[in-house]
Amino acid sequence: MSSCLGNVFRVSTWGESHGGAVGVVIDGCPPRVPLSEADVQVELDRRRPGQSDIVTPRKEPDTCKILSGVFQGQTLGTPICMMVANTDTRGSDYDAEVYRPSHADFTYDAKYGIRNHEGGGRASARETIGRVMAGVVARRALQTLLPSCSIEVVAYVESIHEIRAKAETLEKVTRHSVETTPVRCPDPEAAERMISLIEKTKGDSLGGIIGCVARNVPAGWGEPVFDKLEADLAKAMMSIPATKGFEIGSGFLAPTMLGSQHNDAFEMEGNRVTTRTNNSGGIQGGISNGMPITMRIAFKPTATISVPQDTVTSAGEAVTYTGRGRHDVCVLPRAVPIVEAMTWIVLCDHALRQRAIEY
Amino acid sequence: MSSCLGNVFRVSTWGESHGGAVGVVIDGCPPRVPLSEADVQVELDRRRPGQSDIVTPRKEPDTCKILSGVFQGQTLGTPICMMVANTDTRGSDYDAEVYRPSHADFTYDAKYGIRNHEGGGRASARETIGRVMAGVVARRALQTLLPSCSIEVVAYVESIHEIRAKAETLEKVTRHSVETTPVRCPDPEAAERMISLIEKTKGDSLGGIIGCVARNVPAGWGEPVFDKLEADLAKAMMSIPATKGFEIGSGFLAPTMLGSQHNDAFEMEGNRVTTRTNNSGGIQGGISNGMPITMRIAFKPTATISVPQDTVTSAGEAVTYTGRGRHDVCVLPRAVPIVEAMTWIVLCDHALRQRAIEY
Amino acid sequence: MSSCLGNVFRVSTWGESHGGAVGVVIDGCPPRVPLSEADVQVELDRRRPGQSDIVTPRKEPDTCKILSGVFQGQTLGTPICMMVANTDTRGSDYDAEVYRPSHADFTYDAKYGIRNHEGGGRASARETIGRVMAGVVARRALQTLLPSCSIEVVAYVESIHEIRAKAETLEKVTRHSVETTPVRCPDPEAAERMISLIEKTKGDSLGGIIGCVARNVPAGWGEPVFDKLEADLAKAMMSIPATKGFEIGSGFLAPTMLGSQHNDAFEMEGNRVTTRTNNSGGIQGGISNGMPITMRIAFKPTATISVPQDTVTSAGEAVTYTGRGRHDVCVLPRAVPIVEAMTWIVLCDHALRQRAIEY
Amino acid sequence: MSSCLGNVFRVSTWGESHGGAVGVVIDGCPPRVPLSEADVQVELDRRRPGQSDIVTPRKEPDTCKILSGVFQGQTLGTPICMMVANTDTRGSDYDAEVYRPSHADFTYDAKYGIRNHEGGGRASARETIGRVMAGVVARRALQTLLPSCSIEVVAYVESIHEIRAKAETLEKVTRHSVETTPVRCPDPEAAERMISLIEKTKGDSLGGIIGCVARNVPAGWGEPVFDKLEADLAKAMMSIPATKGFEIGSGFLAPTMLGSQHNDAFEMEGNRVTTRTNNSGGIQGGISNGMPITMRIAFKPTATISVPQDTVTSAGEAVTYTGRGRHDVCVLPRAVPIVEAMTWIVLCDHALRQRAIEY
What is the reported pLDDT for D247?
A: 98
What is the reported pLDDT for D325?
A: 67
What is the reported pLDDT for C59?
A: 76
Contacts of D177 (CB under 8 A, 6+ apart): D156, D169, D186
pLDDT tens, position by position, B287-324: 999 999 999 999 999 999 999 999 999 999 999 999 87
- Which range has the worst mean pLDDT, A143-147, D241-245, D323-327? D323-327
Q: Does B232 touch chain A (CB under 8 A)?
A: yes
Q: Which helix (H) or strand (E) holds D230?
A: helix D229-238
| % of chain A surpassing 90 pLDDT | 87
What is the reported pLDDT for C56?
A: 81
Bridge partners for A74 per DSSP? A34, A71
CA distance A10 to chain B (A): 12
The closest CB to that of C255, out of D223, D299, D307, belongs to: D299
What backbone torsions phi and psi does residue A137 show, to the nearest 5 degrees? -65, -45
What is the reported pLDDT for D59?
A: 76
Quote the CA–CA distance of C203 and C305 in Å, as a whole number.
5
What is the reported pLDDT for B120?
A: 83
Structure confidence at residue C93 as a pLDDT band (50, 70, 90)? low
Substitution target from C26, C354, C357 for chain B, most B beta carbons within 10 A: C357
CA distance B72 to chain A (A): 32
Question: Does residue B107 carry a pLDDT above 70?
Answer: yes
Distances (CA, A) of B249 to B231, B279, D60: 13, 5, 55
Structure confidence at residue C54 as a pLDDT band (50, 70, 90)? confident
| % of chain D surpassing 90 pLDDT | 88
Question: Does residue D26 carry a pLDDT above 80?
Answer: yes
Quote the CA–CA distance of C165 and C178 in Å, as a whole number.
12
Residues of A in contact with B312 (CB under 8 A): 266-268, 273
- Mean pLDDT, chain C, rounded, equals 95
**Three-class secondary structure of residue C6 per DSSP:** coil
For range B107-111, the mean pLDDT? 97
Question: Does residue D60 carry a pLDDT above 90?
Answer: no
For range A69-76, the mean pLDDT? 96
Question: Does residue D249 carry a pLDDT above 80?
Answer: yes
What is the reported pLDDT for B8?
A: 97
What is the reported pLDDT for B60?
A: 80
Q: Which helix (H) or strand (E) holds B272?
A: strand B272-275
Interface size B-D, in CB pairs within 8 Å, comes to: 154
For range D56-66, the mean pLDDT? 87
- Which range has the worst mean pLDDT, A168-172, D67-71, D143-147? A168-172
Structure confidence at residue C89 as a pLDDT band (50, 70, 90)? low
pLDDT tens, position by position, C318-328: 999 998 766 89
What is the reported pLDDT for C325?
A: 67
Long-range Cβ contacts of A34-38 (<8 Å, 24+ apart) = A34/A73, A34/A74, A34/A140, A34/A144, A35/A66, A35/A70, A35/A73, A35/A74, A35/A75, A35/A80, A35/A136, A35/A137, A35/A140, A36/A66, A36/A70, A36/A73, A37/A64, A37/A65, A37/A66
pLDDT tens, position by position, B121-151: 899 999 999 999 999 999 999 999 999 989 9
What is the reported pLDDT for A96?
A: 80
Structure confidence at residue B89 as a pLDDT band (50, 70, 90)? low
Question: Does residue D56 carry a pLDDT above 90?
Answer: no
- Which range has the worst mean pLDDT, A59-68, C249-258, D151-160? A59-68
Substitution target from A2, A117, A157 for chain B, most B beta carbons within 10 A: A2
Residue B107 backbone zone (phi > 0: left; psi -120 to 50: alpha; other: beta): alpha
Residue A172 burial (C-beta neighbours within 10 Å; 0-12, 13-18, 19+): exposed
Query: Cβ separation of C28 and B357 shorter than 8 Å?
Result: yes
Quote the CA–CA distance of C223 and C239 in Å, as a whole number.
20
For range C21-47, the mean pLDDT? 97
Nearest to B292 by CA among B155, B190, B184: B155
**What secondary structure letter does DSSP report for B93?**
G
The closest CB to that of B316, out of A104, A271, A290, belongs to: A271
What is the reported pLDDT for B58?
A: 74
pLDDT tens, position by position, B170-217: 989 999 999 999 999 999 999 999 999 999 998 999 999 999 999 999
Peptide bond preceding D137: is omega within 30 degrees of 0, i.e. cis? no
Structure confidence at residue D96 as a pLDDT band (50, 70, 90)? confident
For range C123-149, the mean pLDDT? 96
**Three-class secondary structure of residue C268 per DSSP:** strand
CA-nearest residue to B12 within chain D is: D25
The closest CB to that of C8, out of B29, B224, B356, belongs to: B356
What is the reported pLDDT for A297?
A: 98
Chain B segment 235-274 residues within 8 A of C by beta carbon are none
- Helix spans in chain B (H): 37-47, 105-112, 128-145, 167-171, 175-179, 188-200, 229-238, 259-262, 332-357
8 Å CB contact between A313 and A15: no
- Exposure class string for D36-47: b at 16+ Cβ within 10 A, else e: eeebbbebbebb
Question: Does residue C92 carry a pLDDT above 80?
Answer: no
Residue C251 backbone zone (phi > 0: left; psi -120 to 50: alpha; other: beta): left
Bridge partners for C154 per DSSP? C213
Question: Does residue D117 carry a pLDDT above 90?
Answer: no
pLDDT tens, position by position, D202-228: 899 999 999 999 999 999 999 999 999
DSSP string of B48-62, one letter each residue: -TTSSTTS-------
Q: Does D31 touch chain A (CB under 8 A)?
A: yes
pLDDT tens, position by position, D293-349: 999 999 999 999 999 999 999 999 999 999 876 689 999 999 999 999 999 999 999
Contacts of A224 (CB under 8 A, 6+ apart): A285, A286, A287, B1, B2, B3, B104, B122, B123, B239, D78
Substitution target from B9, B17, B25, B65 for chain D, most D beta carbons within 10 A: B25
- Mean pLDDT, chain A, rounded, equals 95
Query: According to the per-residue pLDDT averaged within each range, which of C79-88, C111-120, C125-134 is highest?
Result: C125-134
What is the reported pLDDT for B92?
A: 64
What is the separation, in whole angstroms, between the first and last Cα of chain A? 37
Residues of C in contact with A80 (CB under 8 A): 14
Question: Does residue D90 carry a pLDDT above 80?
Answer: no
- Exposure class string for B15-35: b at 16+ Cβ within 10 A, else e: bbbbbbbbbbbbbbbbbebeb
Neighbours of A188 (CB within 10 A): 13
CA-nearest residue to B25 within chain D is: D14
| % of chain B surpassing 70 pLDDT | 97
For range A110-131, the mean pLDDT? 92
Quote the CA–CA distance of B287 and A113 in Å, as a whole number.
13
